[in-house]
Structure 1
C-alpha cells in the first residue's frame, strides 16, 4: 500500500477484528483454529526476526495453511535492508500483510535493537517501513506502544506516528500502554502500565486518513464493540486465546452469520486436525490451542483434563477430542436438566 493510497473497503473490513501476534501461541495450528471461529478476522503470526526469515527454516517459520487468510507476518528487526528482504520473502510466501513489531519489551528484543525500543528511533522505523513498502506489494503496517518508560507526552507519541506515516505506513496497531524497558517482565508489561485508549482515539480523530486499531486489555464483547465508536478496529490478545469463543461471538456480532455452538466449531476443525495428524504432527501440538474453548462452561474442566492427559500419548487422534467433547456435552445436558 503506497503512502497516498487509502485503505479500500475490503481491507478496512478485514482489520476490524484481529488476533494479536503472541509468541509461542499464534502458530499455524492456532491460527487455523481461530479461522474456524472467526471467518472474517485478520490473524497474525508470532513475531519472526528478519534474519530468521532470510537465513532460517522458512518451511517451519513461515508455515501457513491456506485456510488462514487473511493472515499477516509480523517481523522483528531494525535494519532496513534486512527488513526489506524479509518483507519480500513474506509476500512471496503468500502473507497478506507485513507488520513491523515496535512494541515488544523483552530483554532479548532490546539487546537486538528492535521491538519497543524502536519507539525512541522514529527515523529508523520510517527508513525500515519505506524499504519494506518498496520491496513488497502487500500492506506494510506497524504495531507499537504509546511510548517507553517515562514517555508521557502525547505529542511525542503522535510525532512517532507522523514520522512513520510519512514513510508510507497507513495502518497502526496501538497497544495502548507504555512499555517499560527495565524493571518489568514481558507479562508485567502487558498488565502494569496503565491503559490509555484515549490516546488511540485522539490519534484517529486528529489523523482520520490513518487506519488505527486498538490493542491491550480487551477481554469482553461489549468492551471491544465500544472501541469501534472511536477507531477502525480492535485487536484481541490473551482473551482470544484463553476464551476463544469470544472471538466467535465478536465475528458474528460484527460481520453477521449464525452463532454456532462450541462443539460445532470444534468439529469443523476436524479436517484440519486430521490432515495435520496424517503429516505426522502430534495431537498435543494442536489441542493445546483449544483448551480454553469451554472456559467457564460446565464440563469445561473435564474437557481440558481429557485433552491435557491424553494428547501427548503415542497414537492420540481425533477420537480423544470426541471423548473430551462427549464428557463436556454430558455435563451441559445434566446442567440443563
Structure 2
C-alpha cells in the first residue's frame, strides 16, 4: 500500500542479528578494557567494598590469583590503587621503595608478567588529610606537590610500572613527571594523564574503597567544574604540550560530550573512566531486579566507544570479558 511513497527503508539493515552485526559501527573488545583494583596492606584480606558489590580490597597474597584471572580472561592491562596502613601529611607511602603499590607492581611483574601495569600516581590515598597534594593553611600547594608526585612516578616505574597515570590535577603535573622520568632514564615510559578530571559526585564509592575521602573541604580548587566544556580542551591541550601520551576523561557516562570533544581535537589515545558511582548505581539496580545488568553495561560501555574512547577503565572489565566470550 505504501510502495508508491518515497521514503528510505532503514529497517533493511536491522532484519536479523547477522545483518545487524555486519553493519555495526562501534565494537567493544577485550583489548579496550583496563581493570582497576585495590591492594591493601596485611595478609589474607579480601574485603568487599560495601558500595561496590564484586569489588574487593586485596592483600598482596591475594592479588596474584586475581591478576591471573584477569590475564586468563584476555584483559591486557590493570591499574593499581594502594590502601596503606600509615598515612602522613606528605603522603610518604606513595613514593617509598616498599610502598604497598610498589610491592604490588613487583609481585605482578614477577608472577603475571603478561599484564601491562598502569600505576595511578596521586597522593590522596596516602595523605592523612586525604587531599592530592601538600596542604598548608588549608590550601593545597601546587608546586610543592609536584616534587612529591614526580618522586612517586619514578618509584612506581622503578618497581616495574609500564605506564604512569597521574590523577592529581595539579597544574604542571605532566611536565614535572615527564622531566623526572626522563632524568631517571625512563624516556620510554608513557604518561596516561587524567587530563580531564571533574569534581564529581560519582566518586563516592571509590573513596570508600581507597580510603581517600578528604578530611576537610573538597577538591573543587583543583578538579574541574562539571559545568565546563571548553576548560576540558584547555586542560588536555596543556597536557599534550607537556608530554602526555594518553588523555583520560573522568567520569565517562555524564561526560560523553567531552569525550567526543577530546577525540575530535587531539590525536592521542582517549581513555574513558567508567567510575565507581556509575558502577554502584548499575549494581544496585541489578540487585533489585530493575534492569538487565549485562545489556545495560554493554550498552553503556559501547556508548563510551561510540563517543570516541579508545580504552575504558571499568570495574566491569571481568564481567564484560566473560560476556564478550559467550
Conserved 8 A contact 1:176-1:200: no
Deviations 1:6-26 (A, max 9, x none): xxxxxxx99622123546547
SS of alignment partner, residue 54 of structure 1: coil
| Alignment of 1:143 onto 2:143 | no
The aligned runs of 1:1-337 (5 Å cut-off) are 16-22=32-38, 25=56, 27=58, 28-29=63-64, 30-37=66-73, 39-47=74-82, 51-57=93-99, 60-62=103-105, 63-64=107-108, 65-67=111-113, 69-77=115-123, 79-102=145-168, 118=169, 121-135=170-184, 136=186, 137-143=188-194, 145-148=196-199, 149=220, 150-176=225-251, 195-207=254-266, 209-216=267-274, 217=278, 220-229=297-306, 230-237=308-315, 239-240=316-317, 244-250=318-324, 252=325, 259=326
Whole-Å Cα distance in 1 between the matches of residues 158 and 30 of structure 2? 21
| Equivalent residues, number | 201
Deviations 1:252-298 (A, max 9, x none): 4xxxxxx4xxxxxxxxxxxxxxxxxxxxxxxxxxxxxxxxxxxxxxx
Structure 2 residue aligned with 1:293: none
More strand by share: 2
Alpha-carbon shift at residue 70 of structure 1 (Å): 1.3
Alpha-carbon shift at residue 168 of structure 1 (Å): 0.3
Where structure 2 has 5 or more consecutive residues not aligned to the other structure, the ranges are 1-28, 41-55, 84-90, 124-132, 134-144, 200-219, 280-295
Alpha-carbon shift at residue 144 of structure 1 (Å): 5.3
More helix by share: 1
Conserved 8 A contact 1:21-1:74: no
Structure 2 residue aligned with 1:334: none
Whole-Å Cα distance in 1 between the matches of residues 259 and 92 of structure 2? 28
Deviations 1:171-209 (A, max 9, x none): 0222226xxxxxxxxxxxxxxxx71211111111121x1
Conserved 8 A contact 1:174-1:213: yes
User: What's the TM-score once normalised by structure 1's chain length?
Assistant: 0.50
Alpha-carbon shift at residue 225 of structure 1 (Å): 2.7
**What's the RMSD between the two structures over aligned residues?**
3.2
Whole-Å Cα distance in 1 between the matches of residues 92 and 321 of structure 2? 29
Whole-Å Cα distance in 2 between the matches of residues 248 and 132 of structure 1? 37
